[in-house]
Amino acid sequence: MKIKILWALLALVIAGLIAVPWIASYFYIFIFTEILILGLFAASFNLIFGYTGMLSFGHAAFFGIGSYAMALVLIHLEWPFVVGLLVSMGVSALLALIIGFFCVRLNEVYFAMLTLAFGMMVFAIAYQWRSVTNGSDGLAGFSLGSFGLGLDLTLANPAVYYHVVLAIVVIASALLYLVCSSSFGMILRAIRQNPERVSFAGLNVRTYRLVAFVIAGSFAGLAGGLIAPFLRVASPELLHWSMSAEPILMAILGGTGYFLGPFVGSAVFVLLETWITSFTESWMLVLGIILALMVIFFRKGLLGTVLDWWMEIKK
């Protein structure tokens, strides 16, 4: 019964998201588009953090590379949008495979620092390789052509692009959920709790960590492929280590122990940022205080705390 109620609530949320362009202004369409994209970015990060126990400070490298891959495809090749997304995922997965090959050999803080180092290396390359990335100015001026798959969609229309993003995020989230709920996901949770015991059981912990790292990188690249047409630019800021802090904060804010936690954290983070910037220039200070209080008093994240309260009420 409880599972059916949760699925019903999820269906209502998706129905509400579908209706956003019909009941809200363009401003809120942009806001919800950003929430969905960053939610997918945070969910991809949570696969390696919440499920596998690896804290990465370089996850923005895959997000940013995905955005650059999409921009380059649209500028130079003029391929359909959906092909650009596949290229973004493929390039990010390849980068994750290279970086992960070295990083998964280390644990805890050493893993975190090495991912930070690789992330800043990717940022430096994008910042200085002007002939390809246009340096600090980034890649802009690209137009959105056809979607592909025989669908005639006007992607330049914010409402249409929102629905495209919503559909892709729902499909990608379903795939991530299948990964997390599979036997592979159970092994990842076991690695997070006790990697030595998993190793004693005859499983190669490094291989499982590397596969999880690549999967997370590919979905971060997908989110990056969605953010470039949304912002109309692919810039080095999307690769910076400070960008890697956002999925960490969103995952913790929503609840790393719950699959939908990063999406809740993304919604709260973006809405708070939008609200605070509307009345003060010191929005970073106010936002930091509010987020710090939330993290301190909501130990299981917002979603986890709400679910615990609901379970207590049901008793």
d(CA 224, CA 172): 13
Of how many residues is the chain composed? Answer: 315
Give the pLDDT of residue 314: 66
- Single out the residue of 175, 184, 183 nearest to residue 222, CA to CA: 175
The answer to whether residue 229 scores a pLDDT higher than 60 is yes
The answer to whether residue 41 scores a pLDDT higher than 80 is yes
In this prediction, residues 1-12 reach a mean pLDDT of: 71
* pLDDT tens digits for range 81-96: 999 999 999 999 999 9
Question: Distance of CA 185 to CAs 190, 218, 265, Å?
Answer: 9, 17, 22
d(CA 174, CA 69): 24
* pLDDT tens digits for range 239-287: 998 899 999 989 988 888 888 889 999 998 899 888 888 877 777 788 7
In this prediction, residues 55-81 reach a mean pLDDT of: 93
For the chain, what are the domain ranges?
Answer: 25-240
Amino acid (one-letter) located at 271: L
Confidence of residue 190 (pLDDT cuts 50, 70, 90): very high
pTM above threshold 0.85: yes
* pLDDT tens digits for range 145-176: 788 887 888 888 899 999 999 999 999 999 99
